[in-house]
Amino acid sequence: MINEQKIPCPVCKTQIPFDVSLLLQGAKFSCPKCQSVVAISNNSMTQAEEAVKQYEKLKQSSKKQKDTRR
């Protein structure tokens, strides 16, 4: 399942669906109503990449889908 979050469009307040990992990796998300494009600015890309790395690491360690069959 995708971790789909929503961010209010800074222009028209319409909820823009986005995926945090993709956003932090540089993906751009556009508002379905006014077509404004929300993205991480280039100045913060290094910081964002580091954050997404940490986040994915945690996600891997805690994704426990057990199926114990004996």
CA-based torsion, 9, 15, 20, 23: positive or negative: negative
- Contact call for residue 14 and Zn ion (CB under 5 A): yes
Name the residue among 29, 27, 34, 39 with its Cα closest to residue 13: 34
CB of 9 to another protein, least distance (A): 8
Q: Max CA-CA distance within the chain? A: 56
Query: Which member of 22, 33, 35, 49 binds another protein (CB under 8 A)?
Result: 35
Query: Which member of 10, 17, 26, 32 binds another protein (CB under 8 A)?
Result: 10
- Contact call for residue 46 and another protein (CB under 8 A): no
